[in-house]
Structure 1
Amino acid sequence: MTTSRASGSRAGDGLLRHRDFRLLLAGAAASQAGTQVALVALPLVAVVGLHASAFEVGLLTAAETAAFLLIGLPAGAWVDRVRRLPLLIRTDVVRAVAMGSVPLAAACHALTMAQLYLVAFVTGVATVFFDVAHQSYLPRVLPGPHLVAGNGALETARSAAQVAGPGLGGGIVQLLGPPVAVLANAAGYLASALFLRGIRVREPEPEVTPGVSLSAQVKEGLAFVLRHPVLRMIALTTGVANFFSAMLVAVQTVFLTRELGLPPGVLGLMLSASAVGGLTGALCAGTVARRLGQARIIWLAPLVTGPFALLWPLSGHGAAAGWFALGSGAVFFGAVVYNVAQVSFRQLLCPDALLGRMNATLRFMVWGTMPLGALAGGSIAGAAGPRAAVWVCAVGFLLVPIPLLLSPLRKLRDLPTTGEAHGEAAHGAGTGAASEAVDAPGAAG
């Protein structure tokens, strides 16, 4: 595994000289910047512009993530049947049009909560297809040794957007109003589509086996994930984390504005400050993984940083509001380091023909919990107050690393090489003995 780590380090050198990856990265940065502005703007459209209740704001978050629960599994099988780059471009355009309808309706004094729910749902459906295709397309642009560095760069772009976007969004909201800030989200999606159009890597048309139904392909993706002991635990861990993350997202705008009395501009800066931890995690993920172990860091990151979530409900008025930012920064740091490591593991493990279904199955399992978490957060906040909901979120994050501590990852230091991973995957899929493959001494290095 020493050789693998050294090659992984060399893989990061000169990554930005790779033209197609630069365009993929620029598209991700533009899209994420707009998304982070909307993270502040869209709930404020509901809270400030339409005087929505805590439960209605939770329902808005649930509408945006419901698509992962409703269509996540068939989306993966469908992605494996089409070329991924054109799909990425089309879904960006759909999201831009949906978000662009919000300021248009507001200008005509016709905006309603029903439209916000519809926009959130349509955007969520497009995001399901975009995210599954995007994770499945990266290995087409970058070879296996570059995947950890590539995922780290994408997480850096996402985390940088989390730092700048909420502050920018809060400022736009305070100066021009929430609907105008939503325009930045639409512009980000359009910019992403334009960057993606410039990518030169072209995929061959996927070969669809005659007589194999969509449902059979969905079952194949499910079997691949459920038979693998590490993927099962990654799915359970991330699903728990996303449940409580969605609960927090559903109530944080109400908590920060009504409980702590923060104006929109300060709220945006608060979320930006907390995202500094995510950016730091993205920048440090490769170094931390090399020093502590690429497999070990998957369970170590949430174990060490999860308890900082307890700072959220302890935050108060004035300077005490900073506890919220500090807690979020630490939790986001761990989440990004975890994501870089576990996504790279999944991409190394899975054959290209199954990538869409594997990613969609994982997305169904881990993002399908988000609408449930959002509804739970809105319900708790409506019944017992926003601070009570934030307490539940904080305690929930203490549970996140438990499945990983019970998995074979605890015995490994580093991730397998591409060849080892595909060999394990083939052995597990063909014989149902994935456990023995992962626990083998060779895999642990």
Structure 2
Amino acid sequence: MMVGVSDIPRRSSSRTAKLASIPLGIAGRAAVGFGRRMAGGDRNEIDAEMAARAAEQMFTVLGELKGGAMKFGQALSVMEAAVPEEFAEPYREALTKLQSEAPPLPAKAVHHVLDQQLGTRWRERFASFDDVPTASASIGQVHRAVWSDGRDVAVKVQYPGADEALRADLRTLSRFAGLFATVMPGTDVRALLDELTARTEEELDYRIEADNQRAFAAAFHGDPDFIIPHVVASSPKVVVTEWLSATPLSVIINEGTREQRNRAGALLAEFHFSSPARVGMLHSDPHPGNFMLLDDGRLGVIDFGAAAAMPDGFPPELGRMVRLALDERFDELTQLLYDHKFVLPGKKVTDQEIADYLRPFTDPIHGESFHFTRTWLQRVAGVATDLSGPQFRTARTLNLPPEYVSVFRVLLGSVGICAQLDAYAPYMRILTEWLPGLTDE
């Protein structure tokens, strides 16, 4: 049973202290573990125990704070497949919880928000409303209800004070970016936080989320492979959508059949690569809690609070880069990187350095189908983050232009989920169909 909380902790000093307790707690346990190893304790057993406690502390603190802290945890959870297996299990369990769990808002507080957002006679708009939430989002929680016309609906209610908390969390988390990076190697924590901060205001207004979802639902209406629930009603702090009964990818990851995992991975990739062309937007919150597989094989998608506007679709330069990497025309690719500001001003990088840096990442485009695995992702992440390796030195010369941050984060997140699914996916076929610039010469 989940324990109720009265509200999001909003005092800046209190929230900062809680967030600070995560890296400090991890450092403290490391010191204790070192002492126990010196005293003759079993190193592997001690390291595993420390990792488990650190992961549990991370979940507890981020989950209680909700807001930006929980959103940050959800974003990190996508890349847990990149963590080496000997350390992965405790983080996997704790971070997966952040995709669907957090202490709930009491019914009285929920009713107060509904009074403000849908009017004091809001109950007349529902045939029934379940006061016990079914899930928690980063800045709100979801209740199941029946609309007045008999439709099953999901009612997302924003936590009171979420706006203040989200802004404060993201400012505080930025100060601890380096320490959090040690918990999740292979993740550019600073860029992740910068982008989350940039999208804060959009996600706080549920009317924007509702408009995003309406656009996706219209574009994918009647599609044999995808389903987007339609929006029933919306206001700044409450959004009501059709209820979707399906199996979340977090469950498919652990319990799904080979067929289910392959299908989920392929459809996830197709959804992300096709959306800019079909909708003019990119769903920008890639974690398993937002995707589910229906019994009929369709992929269901929810939570459109973060969606990057791409009215002209993916930039054709992206497809051009993939084509040049595939053909190993690294001289042209290096020039393209310079031309589009992917190299930091004043820095120099050679064709060979770019070739050596990118080759580990290009595995999925060599061949008709690719098997995404945790082992593969761990290897790629390990090469990219080896501080003593040449790839890391190359990475320090490269830059990610602001207009590409969301694109790369989403596509890397999608790959991370595919690795968790252990999915075989026809990646190159999907890219060839949907990525502009790939087949143009």
Q: Report which of the two has the higher share of helix.
A: 1
Q: Report which of the two has the higher share of strand.
A: 2
TM-score in terms of structure 1 length: 0.31
Q: Which has the higher contact order (CA 8 A, sep 6+)?
A: 1
